[in-house]
Amino acid sequence: MAGTRRPGEFEAIARWLAPLARHAPESLGLLDDAAVLSPAPGRGLALTVDTMVEGIHFVADDPPGDIARKLLRVNLSDLAAMAAEPRWCLLAMSLGESQDESWLEAFAEGLGADLESFGVALIGGDTTATPGPLTLSLTALGEVGKGGAVLRSTAAAEQDVWVTGTLGDAALALALMQGRAGGLTLGDFPCLQGRYRVPQPRTALGPRLAGIATAMLDISDGLAADLGHICAASRVGADVAFEALPLSDEARRVLDACPELAASVAAGGDDYELLFTAAPGEAARIEALGAETGVPVARIGATRAGEGVVVRDPSGSPMALESSGWRHF
């Protein structure tokens, strides 16, 4: 019933991680039993938690800073999808034998940089040893925009379907890593590799879509599956044109060489882009918000009465897609 770590590592943790929390008054200097925050009056608080396990969600030799940033960002993406502004987080770490002082330093450096750039305060956490793989769990809290939270279940028929950024980059990176892209290798596509390792949560745009988007989520299971989630929860159907899907230059190059990977764009996963619906009359406002926040937005289709999601290829035929994106579980 004793931990597996060497003496002195408490001090390493205090040295590298505690400073990330110390400037947040809510953390009470990490000296107390709990953090205490004062929510803004009259605004909802959005909460989400995500866990990442070595060997399941990342590999042992991924850069520690990237692991930290991905852990934070997947949670911030969930908050953005609720139209919430990210504010606070708590970090639970179960550290294995190979997380030594230099690992902790690099992890803290990556986390600290992202906390600062996203304006999020680390206000608490727990660190323990594990005889197993490194396991990280982050709870993120955000303040819901004045227009209220945007749910998945409130889309209606005859509305536009929108998506941010570009789709398929992470799924194509995985295909390249797994040798499923002919002779192409991941090394030739640095942007795809980056998208796979460190997603870009749309925290600037998400909260601005409160009162405009009728339903929203962030794409983690793949466009087709996640649009299916909105449709099922809202009891509508949707049609999407493959040609309308926004692609990065690198993704386009991969698809030119391997057209059979098109399904990875429409049904892959880990895009962490916002997918949302809105009345057609909101199009100009959404374009303007995208420009203002520096987040590309693209209209990719429309909802309709009925059920199910159809992605049509350039000839107008429904594409054959795996019914769901990837699952980590």
Please report how close the Cβ of residue 325 comes to its own copies at its closest, in angstroms.
13
Residue 136 and residue 6: Cα distance in Å, rounded? Answer: 20
Q: Residue 19 or 25: which CB sits closer to its own copies? A: 25
Please report how close the Cβ of residue 128 comes to its own copies at its closest, in angstroms.
5
The secondary structure of residue 319, as a DSSP letter, is: P
Q: Looking up tokens 């110390």, which residue turns up?
A: 22
Q: Residue 44 or 296: which CB sits closer to its own copies? A: 44
Count of residues that bind its own copies according to CB under 8 A: 72
Q: Which of residues 283-322 bind its own copies (CB under 8 A)?
A: none
Residue in 42, 281, 294, 314 binding its own copies, rule: CB under 8 A: 42
Residue 80 and residue 87: Cα distance in Å, rounded? Answer: 11
Q: Residue 217 or 245: which CB sits closer to its own copies? A: 217
Please report how close the Cβ of residue 43 comes to its own copies at its closest, in angstroms.
8
Q: Residue 43 or 312: which CB sits closer to its own copies? A: 43
Q: Which of residues 100-129 bind its own copies (CB under 8 A)?
A: 123-129
Residue in 41, 183, 259, 314 binding its own copies, rule: CB under 8 A: 41
Strands 135-144 and 45-53: antiparallel
Q: Which of residues 219-278 bind its own copies (CB under 8 A)?
A: 233
Q: Is 209 in the site for its own copies (CB under 8 A)?
A: no
Residue 241: how many CA atoms within 13 Å on its side-chain side?
11
Q: Which of residues 64-93 bind its own copies (CB under 8 A)?
A: 77-79, 81-82, 84, 88, 90-93
The answer to whether 158 touches 303, Cβ cutoff 8 Å, is yes
Residue 68 and residue 63: Cα distance in Å, rounded? Answer: 9
Please report how close the Cβ of residue 318 comes to its own copies at its closest, in angstroms.
26
Q: Which of residues 154-183 bind its own copies (CB under 8 A)?
A: 174
Q: Residue 41 or 294: which CB sits closer to its own copies? A: 41
Q: Residue 139 or 241: which CB sits closer to its own copies? A: 139
Task: Give the count of beta carbons closer than 10 Å to the beta carbon of residue 57.
Answer: 18
Joined together, the tokens standing for residue 226 give 């996640």
Please report how close the Cβ of residue 136 comes to its own copies at its closest, in angstroms.
9
- Write out the DSSP string of 136-189: EEEEEEEEEPTT----SS---TT-EEEEES-SSHHHHHHHHHTT-STT--GGG-
Residue in 15, 51, 63, 147 binding its own copies, rule: CB under 8 A: 51
Residue in 63, 66, 101, 149 binding its own copies, rule: CB under 8 A: 149
Please report how close the Cβ of residue 68 comes to its own copies at its closest, in angstroms.
16
Please report how close the Cβ of residue 181 comes to its own copies at its closest, in angstroms.
17
Residue 182 and residue 174: Cα distance in Å, rounded? Answer: 13
Joined together, the tokens standing for residue 243 give 């040609």
Q: Is 208 in the site for its own copies (CB under 8 A)?
A: no
The answer to whether 51 touches 135, Cβ cutoff 8 Å, is yes
Task: Give the count of beta carbons closer than 10 Å to the beta carbon of residue 318.
Answer: 12
Q: Which residues contact 106 (CB under 8 A, 6 or more apart)?
A: 63, 64, 65
Q: Is 152 in the site for its own copies (CB under 8 A)?
A: yes
